[in-house]
Amino acid sequence: MTTLAKPSVWEKFFWPLLTAVLLLAAWKYSVKWSGTQVFPSPASVETGMLELLRHHVLWADIADSLRRVAFGFGTAALLGIPLGLVLGWYPAMHQVFNPVIQLLRPISPIAWIPIAIVLFGIGDHAATFLIFLGAFFPIVVACAGGVSGVPVIYRRTARNFGLRPAQILARVVFPAALPQILIGLRIALGIAWLVVVAAEMIAVDSGLGFLVIDSRNSGKRYDLVVAAMLMIGLIGLALDTAFRRLEKIRSVRWGFRDEY
């Protein structure tokens, strides 16, 4: 069985860069050929982004969005990871709570916006609550699935060495489930970043989501709209890349899936 050769260092940078250049060229000439007066060209977006930087608007909005995501996602992780570990460790509890989780999990956080505004009003608390809802359930499901998926032989071996249940969970089961837990955290972070943009369009008056809707309403500045959209995508890519690098750490990748 042949294995595919890993791309060289230059290929990892060359092909994504070439793709970006081709997309920019397609964007530029599509605007030119269509003759549209609404959708901006890459040069107009660059000018708009420099304008935002010059007026010290962009960095403040980025900081506000990241702060909301950090608090909402962090709270979801602090509560969701322990709950997921407990549900995965105790199958009886999982059977009790899983129907409720599966009932609430498919509900889009955007659908909670009216309730969030009623509960918290217009401001950071409403946006943070929506981010928390978007991240909480994927984290719980990933942790519970990771723990319940650890082979029983791991637990039996740990008991033979005299470990107590709490020690088995902390020193054996949790590290074995960590790769799947990190995948759940990465997915939850992506959802949190999506939710904050939507929440900022309605529930707050700052952040990248607010910048998008405010640029649209204030003079139809679509160059600023697209500039904010590109910044949202770049930050999302950076967050996802950071989590992917974390998953490749050797101490994280030792989970049982590498052994079978």
Look at the block and give the residue holding tokens 């890519």: 237
Structural domain contains residue 136: yes
Q: Domain of 166?
A: 51-259
Structural domain contains residue 17: no
Structural domain contains residue 14: no
Interval 233-247: pLDDT, tens: 999 999 998 888 877
For the cut 80, the answer to whether the pLDDT of residue 163 exceeds it is yes
Q: Using 50, 70 and 90 to split pLDDT, how confident is the model at 256? A: very low
Q: 49 or 247, which is more confident?
A: 49
Structural domain contains residue 84: yes
In the prediction, which pLDDT does 6 show? 66
Structural domain contains residue 30: no
Structural domain count, the chain? 1
In the prediction, which pLDDT does 4 show? 55
Alpha-carbon distance of 138 to 216, in angstroms, equals 33
Structural domain contains residue 45: no
Residue 112 belongs to a domain with what CATH number? 1.10.3720.10
* pTM (2 d.p.): 0.85
Structural domain contains residue 146: yes
Give how far Cα 116 sits from Cα of 6, 38, 79, 111, 189, Å.
47, 34, 19, 9, 20
Interval 84-110: pLDDT, tens: 999 999 989 999 999 999 999 999 998
Structural domain contains residue 3: no
